[in-house]
Each structure stands twice: as structure tokens, then as C-alpha cells.
Amino acid sequence: MSHAALPDTDPPKPDSWLTRNKLSIAPWFFLAPALAFFSIYVVIPIFESLWLSLYEWNGLYKADGTSTATWVGFNNYVKLWEDPNFWTSLKNNLAWLILYMLAVPAGLFIALFLNQTVAGMRFYKSMFFFPFVISQVVVGLIFGWFYNPDFGVIGSVWKALFCEETTNILGNVTFTCSRTAPDILSSPEWATYGIIFAGLWPQIAYCMILYLTGLNNVAADQIEAARLDGAKGWKMLWYVVLPQLRPATFIAVVVTVIGALRSFDMIAIMTQGGPFGSTNVLAYYMYEVAISEYGERYGYGSAVATVLFMIMLVYISYFLWRMYQDEKVSR
């Protein structure tokens, strides 16, 4: 191709490089801002954390701007292995994972209860959903107060059941109790369960709304057909309805697992990991070691975060794999 061959005649206007390739360039223009933001704040920090978990660092910089971090290899992980707080946290994470799952059947149960069309049903459905909308900080405060043995609900019920009110000569009222009221959040054995119970409240609401939407879309003709065949009650639920609710169940399980592993707010509000570290979970313990009053331990904290990330990665991979299967079908 030489220059000479080009203009003289009047060819159709040649498409510029940009026009010819617009379908392969355009997506990058649309994607660039989201990708840039997401990389800076999410993708790159993940790798930085993984890398930092191999260092010991108090978060400070030298005068010349280089970080004071020192390479320790897998030392942080060795320390984790010997750290009883880490094992407590892991054990509590497991308790969260298992007990939080109760939100799924409980949500289904409430959804079935509410799936009627009597007057005012819309109002009831949205009121049942209410707990999910409010901040977990507020939920934590409410339940922390409920559990208070002196002036919470538990305390009052206890007074009514086991205490006798006596008034002495001076007119002062004292309570003599046959048993002392349980202080759930100060008990190393029970505190975690108290927090999980509080956490279930909004989570059940979330699962409920997923199932209510699912129930809306259950094929009516299949239900009618099954009814003609004499199916009802549990059998109908198990063999006809639940299979159709599978997408709802899947999302409910996914969000519940993530919710369980992310539990931080309520622990911070209700016990701050105490008493004696007995309510720590990895999410909270990581925060505690990384930014504690005794100075920052970024490397060690990153090692805890890495463990939590790896656990979550199992679920993320499974979720992505399921999505990939759907994608293949839809293509």
C-alpha cells in the first residue's frame, strides 16, 4: 500500500480506526470509572492484605516515607495457631454459622403464615420486615437492654417470678430473690448465644421477604393439580412448593452465611468481644488486634483477615460456580 494509491478518486469516506472498532472500545469507556474505583478500594487492597499478613507492621512510616514493616514470613500464622483467642473466635464463627441458619426455616415459616390475602395484609408484611431495615447497632442496643438483669426485660420477668418484695420499717423496698437473675451478656458460656439470638431477629425478616416473593411466583396450576391428587400440608410443602422455592432458598442461605461471617456490629455494641474474649469472632478479633489501644498490629490483623477471607472464599466460589452454570444456559 502506498500513499499514491489513495485520494485522487472519490472513495466512500474511509471509516476511522475508532469507528471500525467502536464495539470493542466502547465497553471500556463505560467500564473505566467503575473498574478504577473498584480496583483502588476493593481489588488491590485484598492483595495488599494478603501480602501484609507476611509482615510485622505497626502502621508507621519512617521519615523518608518508607514503611517500617519487617518481613516475618509465615510467622503471623504460626502465632495464630498458638493463639487461644483465635481458636475461640473460630469456634464462635462456627456457632454463628450453624445457629444463624435457623433464620432460613424461621423466615419460611413466617412467610407461609403471612401468605394470605385478607384485608391489610400488605401492612402486616411490611411491618414484619421492619427489623431488617434498622441498623444492627440499634438492634444490639435494644437487646443489650433486654438482657440487662437489673432493669431489662429479663430482670423484670425474673423479679416477678423469683423475687419477693419486702418493705422494711423505714419504707425502703428491697427484693429478696430465691435465684439471682442470669446476666447473659456477662456469662462466658451464654453471651455468644445471646448475641446470635438478637442477630436472628433481622435475619429472619430478610429470609421472610425472600420467601414471600418466592411464594408469589409459585405456579398456581401445579399447586391445584397436586391438590386434586390429594396432596396437602407438609407433603405439599415438601414435594411441590419447596422445589419451586429453590432460588429463594439459595439466596436466603447465601445472605445468611455472609451475614453470619460478617457479624461485627452487634458484638461491638453488646460485649466488645468480652467477657474475657469469649464472644470474639474473626471479624471482631481482627479489628481488635489491628487497631487496639496497645498499638497497631497490622500484620497480625491481616493474617486473621486472611483466614476469614479464605473461609468466605469457599462460599464465594460456590456462588460464582452456580452463577456460571446459569450464564452458560442463558447464552
Q: Which is nearer to another protein, 94 or 316 (CB)?
A: 316
**What would the x/- binding string for another protein be over residues 267 to 306, using CB under 8 A?**
-xx------------xx--xx--xx------x--xx-xxx
Q: Which is nearer to another protein, 4 or 220 (CB)?
A: 220
Task: Tell the smallest beta-carbon distance from residue 1 to another protein (Å).
Answer: 28
- Count the neighbouring beta carbons within 10 Å of the beta carbon of residue 286: 23
Supply 154's cell numbers.
Answer: 429479663
Q: Which is nearer to another protein, 6 or 246 (CB)?
A: 246
Q: Which of residues 226-265 bind another protein (CB under 8 A)?
A: 227, 232, 236-237, 240-241, 247-248, 250-252, 258, 261-262, 264-265
Place of cell 501480602: 51
Per the DSSP assignment, residues forming a β-bridge with 33 are none
Task: Tell the smallest beta-carbon distance from residue 304 to another protein (Å).
Answer: 7
Task: Tell the smallest beta-carbon distance from residue 274 to another protein (Å).
Answer: 15
Single out the residue of 6, 21, 43, 94 in contact with another protein (rule: CB under 8 A). Answer: 43
Stretch that binds another protein, among 71-79, 83-91, 189-197, 322-330 (CB under 8 A): 322-330
Query: Which three-class secondary structure string do you get for the chain?
Result: CCHHHCCCCCCCCCCCHHHHCHHHHHHHHHHHHHHHHHHHHHHHHHHHHHHHCCEECCCCECCCCCECCEECCCHHHHHHHCCHHHHHHHHHHHHHHHHHCCHHHHHHHHHHHHCCCCCCHHHHHHHHHHHHHCCHHHHHHHHHHHCCCCCCHHHHHHHHHHEEEEECCCCCEEEEECCCCCCHHHCCCCHHHHHHHHHHHHHHHHHHHHHHHHHHCCCHHHHHHHHHCCCCHHHHHHHHHHHHCHHHHHHHHHHHHHHHHHCCHHHHHHCCCCCCCCCCCHHHHHHHHHEECCEECHHHHHHHHHHHHHHHHHHHHHHHHHHHHHHHHHC
Task: Tell the smallest beta-carbon distance from residue 300 to another protein (Å).
Answer: 10
Single out the residue of 44, 98, 161, 225 in contact with another protein (rule: CB under 8 A). Answer: 44
Q: Which is nearer to another protein, 93 or 278 (CB)?
A: 93
Q: Which residues lie below 8 Å from residue 123, measured CB to CB, with a gap of 6+?
A: none
Number of residues that bind another protein (CB under 8 A): 109
Single out the residue of 15, 21, 31, 188 in contact with another protein (rule: CB under 8 A). Answer: 31
Q: Which of residues 107-126 bind another protein (CB under 8 A)?
A: 112-113, 115-120, 124, 126
Single out the residue of 15, 164, 229, 327 in contact with another protein (rule: CB under 8 A). Answer: 327
State CA 294 to chain mean position distance: 28
Task: Tell the smallest beta-carbon distance from residue 302 to another protein (Å).
Answer: 5
Stretch that binds another protein, among 100-108, 161-169, 188-196, 316-324 (CB under 8 A): 316-324
Q: Which is nearer to another protein, 6 or 21 (CB)?
A: 21
Q: Which of residues 51-90 bind another protein (CB under 8 A)?
A: 52, 59
Q: Which of residues 89-108 bind another protein (CB under 8 A)?
A: none
- With beta carbons less than 8 A apart as the criterion, state whether 280 and 84 touch: no
Q: Which of residues 144-183 bind another protein (CB under 8 A)?
A: 145-146, 151-153, 156
Single out the residue of 94, 127, 161, 225 in contact with another protein (rule: CB under 8 A). Answer: 127
What does the alpha-carbon distance between residue 288 and residue 282 come to, in Å, rounded to a whole number?
A: 10
Single out the residue of 17, 28, 234, 294 in contact with another protein (rule: CB under 8 A). Answer: 28
